[in-house]
Structure formats: C-alpha cells, structure tokens
Amino acid sequence: MNYGIAAHEILLLDHFELSLANQQSAHAVDEERLIAAARRVLQGSRFTSASVSLAVVDDPTIHTLNRRYLGHDYPTDVLSFVLEQREDHLEGEVVFSADTAAAVAAEANHPAWTAAEEQLLYVIHGMLHLVGFDDRTEADALRMRAGEKFYLRQCGVELPGTAPHGESRAPSP
C-alpha cells in the first residue's frame, strides 16, 4: 500500500501497459491490486494490447474533471476516457475518487465492504467502460453489473448482498 502522492508503478505483462498515479494522500491505495484488476478486465476483452493509466484523485479534482469533460457540476466516483482505439489496441485512462470510495464504503454498513473494495469496484467499472461496456439503458446496466460481479469475484471480492455463483466466463459488452 502506498499513501504517497504521485506514486507510480508500471507493469508490462502480455501486451498491456498499466500505470497508476496516486494523486491524493488521504486514503490508502493498494496499487498492485488495482493494476491486477485492470489487467484482468483487459485479458477478458477483445483487445490484445493496451496502454491504460489509472489515476487516484480526491473529490475536488474529480469534480473539476467531471465539470470540464462531461458538463456535470458535481464530484463523481469514476471517469473513463478512451484516448485511442483501433482494431485490437486500446489506450485510455480511468480516474477515480478515493474520497468518494471511502464515503460510499462507510455508508454501505457492511463490515466486509471497505474503501479498498469500493476502489476496486471503481477500477473495474471504469475498465469495463474502456473495453466497451455501457450502462445507459437498463439492459446495458445489467450487463455492466454482471461484469462488475464477475471481475470482483476474480479478485476474491463479493458484492454485499450477493451470493457466490459459478460464473466461469466474463459477460461481453
């Protein structure tokens, strides 16, 4: 775990380049776990190569980004940006708020659901957006939730209120 500002870790596995920048210092961040989750989503996608950066920020920063890029004047949990996509290669960025993750986990009122699990969910959700999932319609949102549950289970985490299932493959977008 790293509590520092602007901590970087780059892993080159397969043909996936993943980096993480922790730009806040108020909350613990398990960088290896988050990068591993992002890698899992890429490995389950149609992409054979990718360069993706993860950024951990605070609420004021994500509020600014949400206003600037989406026109929403409020903080949010996670933002995803596809920077380039061609055939089987993807470049993108996932930005999430550690402040929001901590607040949502505290409100969950479930002892097994911590800020670390909420951060993991945000990375998985953001990565699913990058690889083609959407959540605008009810049907798309159901596929997104199935993808989140699948990859959380792959990381050894169960969403509160869900029973384990024997899902063996990731849903497709």
In a domain, 128, yes or no: yes
Distance, CA of 165 to CA of 68 (rounded, Å)? 40
pTM of the model as a whole: 0.87
State the total domains in the chain. 1
**Burial of 96 per CB tally in 10 Å (0-12, 13-18, 19+):** buried
In a domain, 2, yes or no: no
What CATH code is carried by the domain that includes residue 12?
Answer: 3.40.390.30
Which residues have C-beta within 8 Å of that of residue 61, sequence separation ≥ 6?
23, 24, 97
Residue 164 lies in a domain: no
Is position 1 within any domain?
A: no
- Domain contains 24: yes
The counts of H helices and E strands in the chain are: 5, 5
pLDDT by 10s per residue, the chain, length 173 = 444 434 444 444 469 999 999 999 999 999 999 999 999 999 999 999 999 999 999 999 999 999 999 999 999 999 999 999 999 999 999 999 999 999 999 998 787 899 999 999 999 999 999 999 999 999 999 999 999 999 999 999 988 765 554 455 566 66
- Kindly provide the residue ranges of all beta strands, DSSP E only, lying in 27-132, ordered along the sequence: 49-57, 78-86, 89-97
Does 168 fall in a domain? Answer: no
Q: Residue 58 belongs to what domain range?
A: 7-154
How many angstroms separate the CA atoms of 15 and 172, rounded? 21
Q: For residue 31, tell me if it sits in a domain.
A: yes
Which residues are bridge partners to 78 per DSSP? Answer: 96
Q: Partners of 7 in the beta sheet?
A: 22
DSSP β-bridge partners for residue 22: 7, 56
